[in-house]
Chain A
Amino acid sequence: MALPRDARTTPVLEVDDISVSFGARVVLDHVSFEIHPGEFTGLIGSNGVGKTTLLRVILGLQRPSSGEIRIGGVARGTGRQSVGYVPQKVLLDPDVPLRARDLVALGIDAHRYGWRRRSAEDLRRVHETLEAVDALSFADARVGDLSGGEQQRVLIAHALISRPGLLLLDEPLANLDPRSAQDIVALLHRVSTHHDVAILLSAHEMNALLPVMDRIVYVTGGRAASGTTEEVVRTDVLSALYGHHVDVLQLHGRVLVVAEPDDATDHLASHPTLRMD
């Protein structure tokens, strides 16, 4: 659960009026939201709506046409800042001589040039982090030999070990069966609570996250609405966001957002981003 929000707490992440255009194509349109320490946030939207672009802007891989990103109150520069990143897929060749343990250890000092011997403290941290993600049993296996799920946990550990304030995951639930998705979400929630790290993960389906999400950022057509699930996932809010009528249905505890067929979304007046908090 998130820490009680205090007006004076510096947000871990501030996305401030971010717009991104590639030529004439507008990919992100004045998106703004904040994430506070320890919050679990889902970035929800189907493919192609701008989720990945938004993540890249936050990571500093993409320059926005306007707006600013602030991490821990500090404007994002090009150096490294306290954001752990877990990409969707990393191609790990089984021939590569790197154990899970080694990859996690790199999370401590990969950004440092020069040779510094790893201390006992470092090794202890590696062990603890591997334990936190349930990866101890295959810690000494080659990363390339691991299954997708195992690799994912190693990547989470790698990102986690540098003690970031924010952990960013790009579509971690894609291609997972519902059970595995549940497991990963539970693990992330556990990690978030124990290590007091905020989590922002992108997904195209929100249902696996409903039990743990503190905040949802719902993206469509480059625009976003953010707030709690109750505040955002409502017919009126989402219809305004989409620019045409959508129905929000609850079915056996799951949420479905249903649009009417044949709706073109290009020719409508631009709506400002809806912020609910």
Chain B
Amino acid sequence: MHYIFEAAFFSSVPVRNAAELGAVVSLVSAVVGVFTVIRSQSFAGHALTDVATSGGAVGAFFGINALAGFIGGAVVGAGSMELIGVQRARRRDVATGIVLGAATGISALYLYLDTTSSASTGVTQQILFGSIFSVAPSTLPEAALAGAGVLIVVATIWRPLLLSSLSYDVASARGIPTRAIGVVFMLAMSVSVGLSSLAIGSILSTALLIGPAAAALRVTRSVRAAVVVSCVLGVVATWLGILLAYDSYDWEPSSQGLPVSFFVVVVVVAMYLVSGLAVFRRRALVARGGAALRVPEAPLREPRTVA
């Protein structure tokens, strides 16, 4: 018999580090994620996590600081995507795919060279999935700094970013430098993604970037509210995931525990699915002639290819 909140949980140093780092990362991801979802850049956001990982692999090979490698990789990737194609949605899609493919190839190379040269096992797994429990505590101040930087940038460009994300053409017409804003946002996203990929791995990075934001956008009526809700959901998901992962070491049958990433992702996806119910309810209200409610999602009336 064991309790959900073991006494050891709160006093454990790795857990505290993980919780603090996780909170920082999920906060930053949540804010950036709201705009990522609005701008339909989820693919780019995810691709950058893999590109960041690739940067990390290259960095590890050359002995570069991990954070610099991850963030640097993401920034280079984002820059390449911008260079290749931005304006038309389909071209952006292809550009993201090309950069992701090239970065993945580079990952393949450096992981290969790394394992043959230094014979360290588990490097692939480590780099790909990350482990929040094994991140060095010294990363926290750097991470917090990078995260704060991202939040400051977003706060600075908040209004033009919001306008150009909701309607590119209207914003351009109003004289907002939409292209430049787009580039700045991509940079902010790269730093955020680089940071989170190192701290929590690429899977969780994507999940915490997209999931809480998408769920929040479904249940709120304004972007500001969505950012707040997204932050709350992100931090809750992270802490809940850490807690469950910690407890899972006591579970039958294997007593090996399941990774944090697994639990956090499950919680995030569950949040998103539950938010879907809220949308369903709201659509029913609108149909019954309720007050005009803003539905942030794309209208489903037009036939549209899903994939």
Contact = CB atoms under 8 A, between A and B. Distances in A.
Q: Chain A interface: which size bin?
A: under 10
B76 to A, nearest CB: 25
B174 interface: no
Interface string B84-97: 00001011000000
Given A25-B289, A93-B88, 7 more contacts: A23-B288, A23-B289, A24-B287, A24-B289, A25-B287, A93-B90, A95-B88
A23 B287 contact: yes
A22 interface: yes
Nearest to A56: B301
5 contacts: A22-B287, A23-B289, A61-B303, A93-B90, A95-B90
Interface of B: 88, 90-91, 286-289, 303
A24 B91 contact: no
Contacts of A93: 88, 90
Interface residues of A, dominant DSSP: loop
Contacts of A95: 88, 90-91
A24 B88 CA distance: 39
B277 to A, nearest CB: 19
A25 B303 CA distance: 23
B40 to A, nearest CB: 15
A46 B286 CA distance: 23
Interface of A: 22-25, 61, 93, 95
A22 B303 CA distance: 18
A259 to B, nearest CB: 24
Contacts of A61: 303
A211 to B, nearest CB: 33
B172 to A, nearest CB: 18
Nearest to B283: A23
A219 B287 CA distance: 22
A12 B288 CA distance: 35
B3 to A, nearest CB: 49
A25 B289 CA distance: 6
Contacts of B286: 23
Contacts of A23: 286-289
A24 B90 contact: no
Contacts of B91: 95
B284 to A, nearest CB: 8
Q: Which 5 A-B pairs have the closest CB atoms?
A: A24-B289, A23-B287, A23-B288, A23-B289, A93-B90
Contacts of B303: 61
B154 to A, nearest CB: 30
A23 B287 CA distance: 4
Contacts of A24: 287-289
Nearest to B94: A95
B279 to A, nearest CB: 16
B91 to A, nearest CB: 7
B8 to A, nearest CB: 55
B291 to A, nearest CB: 12
Contacts of B90: 93, 95
Looking at A22, A23, A25, A61, the one whose CB has the most chain B CB atoms below 10 A away is: A23
Nearest to B89: A93
